[in-house]
Structure 1
Amino acid sequence: MKKLLGIGISVGVLAGIWTQVSIELTLITWVGFVAWACYFAAGGGREGFLKGLAANLAGALWGYGASLVLTYATFTGAVALAVTVVAFILCLQAAVDLLSFIPGAFAGTAVLFGTSFDLGGTVIALVVGACLGWLSDIVARRIQTAVDRSGQPLPASQP
């Protein structure tokens, strides 16, 4: 439990701030949380930030491309075919190291669909969420270091 104190405090406080700020600025709150989760799922740190965000953005862009095609392809099964092609691409792009976090790519596509194809709003929330992931990780480590130090006995005073 003690080892989770830093992350709990950091994520809790930043999640509350993000929620309030995103509501005030009419940003898409839940999309930010998805990107934040992808940051940690991709391993955290610089690599988790880059891979999580790159995969999220790529997924959102592929989803948006599919939505553009679907404005013209109105035959029965067009949506299923578009999803099939995008899912295939999301897996193939993982051959590129930066895009190798496949769950992040699927999350990016899913949030784009979930926002009714609001590409601008989705991209903003994905970027902010990834930044919040990294920030919460950094703050959590500092808090945890302070908590761990506070449990150690004080050095003996010198006469």
Structure 2
Amino acid sequence: MNPLIAISLTTGVLSGLWGWLSISLGLLSWAGFLGCTSFFASPSDGPKGLAKSMMTNLSGVAWALVIIKSSSMFDAEIVGYIMTAIVSFMMCIQAKRSWLAYIPGTFIGACATFAANGDWQIVAPSLMLGGLFGFSMKSSGLWLSAMLSNANTASTVSEPSNS
């Protein structure tokens, strides 16, 4: 089976499962899909891609909290803009560390935190479980593709020739 079709199938099934599970656990379904997307878009593959995606998502959550907390300490609106500029620089420069070298993952974590009004206690687990679901979607799709391709090859080899 074509890997894209297999990944599409497993992604569809697991997306439905995530939708149900996230609501059942009181998590943010949409934030989980951001964690999933972060894994799928990661420049690294497999467990390394998952780890890098999760680390950068969590760093983005932390950076968003820095902006939120520091901005709330002052009445001047300009402070929020200055903090956003400084922290955005930091979110990018941290990519000098290989394990944080996925800038979009950092911004995904920060954006999710802003969208949830700083409620990091629900954003972080939603992103992490979403990342695990993304990893499961791709891994199970690749496994399904390989299994069906091997089954196809085995049946083709064992069929007698009609020549």
Decide: shared fold, TM above 0.5: yes
- 1:81 Cα deviation (Å)? 1.3
Q: Which residue of 2 aligns with 1:20?
A: 20
**1:11-57 C-alpha deviation (Å, 9 max, x unpaired):** 11110000011112221011111111111111330111011110000
- 1:151 Cα deviation (Å)? 3.5
Q: Which residue of 2 aligns with 1:148?
A: 149
Percent identical among aligned pairs is 25
- Displaced runs of 4 or more, over 3 A: none
Amino acid at match of 1:44: D
Q: Which residue of 2 aligns with 1:86?
A: 87
Q: What residue ranges of structure 1 are gaps of 5+ in the alignment?
A: none
Aligned residues: 157
How far, CA to CA, are the matches of 2:47 and 2:152 in structure 1? Answer: 29
Q: Which residue of 2 aligns with 1:55?
A: 56
How far, CA to CA, are the matches of 2:103 and 2:40 in structure 1? Answer: 14
- 1:154 Cα deviation (Å)? 4.3
How far, CA to CA, are the matches of 1:76 and 1:128 in structure 2? Answer: 35
Q: Which residue of 1 aligns with 2:41?
A: 41
Amino acid at match of 2:86: V
Q: Which residue of 1 aligns with 2:8?
A: 8
- 1:82 Cα deviation (Å)? 1.7
2:107 maps to 1:106: yes
TM-score, structure 2 length as denominator? 0.90
